[in-house]
Amino acid sequence: GWTAGQGPAQGRQCMYMRGSVAAAFALLSTSAATALAQPEQKCRFSLARPWRGIRECAPPPPPPSPPLLSLRGGGASIDRSTLIGMCLALLAATMNGVGLNLQRLGQRRHGPIINVCGVILSALCGPVDMLSYSFAAQSLLAPFGSFSLVINLLLASPLHGDAVAPRDLAATALVISGVAVCLANADGESVARSYEELIALAARPAARAWLGGLAAAVALLASRIPNAGTGPTSVARFCYPLIAGAVGSCTALGGKALGELVKAGAPWRSTAVVSALLPCSGAVQTVVLNRGVGRFSSLLVVPVFVAAFVTCNAVGGGILFDEFGRMTAAQRRAYPAGLGLLVAGVLTLAAKPTPPAEPPAPEGRKRR
């Protein structure tokens, strides 16, 4: 069917665009399932003839590492490096949540200065986030990105007048519970690898399947934005944050890769290529997300963005850097459950009705 005021053609178009968003979700899920199903066999490239593919297999991987925190008693032990990484990840999430709300406030009420401050703050959270991955595993730190939801919940009412219902608080509790489960079952070790091992990790079928599915999903979502409109029921309210979250996860993966390349003493050409790509992906994420929060409610855009970013970041890091391969069987069962709790809470926040977007301040009056 279609909503009041829409004709059959508009209703069919709305259903078609919603189907496209669902197809993008399915594409990402299929890529992750395919990647996780691949056997985790570490191999090395022949650097003299890299175009001829993998030449020899590396020794068997080390035994699975124990979880960072144990929920079965006995206390918790966190090394200094991991603790620094966790603090930096929390700082980056806080900067991102505050920056997004400043962007929305500046675009709608108080002019461009506050908006620019929000953009700068959101842009600076990227380097802080990438720095955190130099101290701990990516699958451990990725769920901390959902902390920006708590900041968004605290600022939505005083800054924007958005109503915070008990449903929002329950959904936030689900998110926090999911983060706790992921933290208790994540791989807490940061493994030092050689340049040859890093090249071999990137060449695995699992890594290629994930990156290919991510690129296809972003292209599909981007193709739906031009004809989606800006109304409160527009499918663009999901496309903007989903694209920003997927591209943001690529920025995080690139930052992790850059740190690993530097530690491995990689050739300068490799580090230069990754360093050049990072600002591009960071700029795309900032611009897309800025448009999303400027046109739709942050209570919808921010949760969807966080869900996409955390999920793609955690799964991508676990696949590309073989962090899932070092988990025990119990960890591999519990970690996806934690991500499921996190995403369920985020989708609960995103499913609530959102008010129509206000016009920017320079327009003066709302259009009829």
- DSSP secondary structure of 53-111: -EEEEPPPPPPPPPBSS-SSSS-----HHHHHHHHHHHHHHHHHHHHHHHHHHIIIII-
Region 38-51 average pLDDT: 44
Tell me the Ramachandran region of residue 163: left when phi exceeds 0, alpha when psi lies from -120 to 50, beta otherwise.
beta
Closest of 82, 73, 37 to residue 319, by C-alpha: 37
Please state the domain extents for the chain. Answer: 138-145+167-351
- DSSP secondary structure of 236-305: HHHHHHHHHHHHHHHHHHHHHHHHHHHHHT--HHHHHHHHHHHHHHHHHHHHHHHHHHHHS-HHHHHHHH
**pLDDT > 90 fraction of the chain, expressed in percent and rounded:** 7
Tokens describing residue 5? 């005021």
Report pLDDT for 244. Answer: 92
**Whether this model's pTM surpasses 0.75:** no
pLDDT (tens digit per residue) in 242-293: 999 999 888 888 888 888 888 888 888 888 998 898 888 888 988 898 888 8
